[in-house]
Structure 1
Amino acid sequence: MKTYSLTAVLPLFPAEPLLSPIYNFITHMQPYHFPVLLIVPAIGIDLVLMRSKKMNKWLLAGLLAVVFLLLFVPAQWYFAEFLQTEAARGWFFGRSSWAYMTPPDSFIRYNFHPEYVDTGWSLVKGLLITLPIAVLSSRIGLSWGNWMKQVKR
């Protein structure tokens, strides 16, 4: 049995926008954006979990959070840059069409809006906010996983 992604299946169904403004005439469903690359940090997390069976759970949660951020941010950063190129336009990555509300002559159609461009300090500040949230999420995930091991059928 073949499996198809939503980016390949959704354009097969006819649809048209009913909300205005309609700048781009669309005749079929529009695909979702390509998903984030969670496989890269997942492999790193699996490698860490295989080697750290007896570690303190809070230290392990901190290590998992750092591994996640160190692997996810660069992988998604460069993949997002690729998705903005002409090479990514097409059915596989879901970048073959524009939304119906995007004006054809809009200056942000091919560029970022100037208000949305941040400095490097914004990224550092966001990562510093993300790190404790990632540690807490990892600790909750470890606790949930240990509880799930105890559930018997």
Structure 2
Amino acid sequence: MPFSIAIQKDDFDVGNEYASLVTGDAHAGAVVFFVGRVREMNQSRRVSGLSLEYYPGMTELVLEQILESAKQRWDLLSVRIIHRVGRLHLMDQIVFVGVTSKHREQAFQAAEFLMDFLKTQAPFWKKEITEEGEIWVEENQADKAASERW
């Protein structure tokens, strides 16, 4: 599983994902991972959950393209991307991006790059469940600016 992508409804276990990234890999001097979760507040709105949708087939293709770009930029040993879809509750895990490399700089940069492009390029649609009802989340300009620096 050196390079893998999963879009799933089920939760993931961070410990298992970490183990699968490093098991049997004596070359990986750096392991960096990010876990995104459903938080309580977004844009001054109290959030109790999310509903995430995606475009089957197209989303996986875009994630593969983002992964290929990262592999061309950095010397990566393994990458694991998991993005959940469906109904999620407060504090649920949404996304896991794990990267291994020989050196920390490459692992940190690649993980940040992957998240920046996942947030801005991957066809996922997020609807927040709030006290005011369900609200589609629009593109975040800070996320867009972050991806433009690459």
Normalising by structure 2, we get a TM-score of 0.30
Higher RCO (CA 8 Å, separation ≥ 6 residues): 2
Higher Cα Rg, which structure: 1
**Structure with the larger strand share:** 2
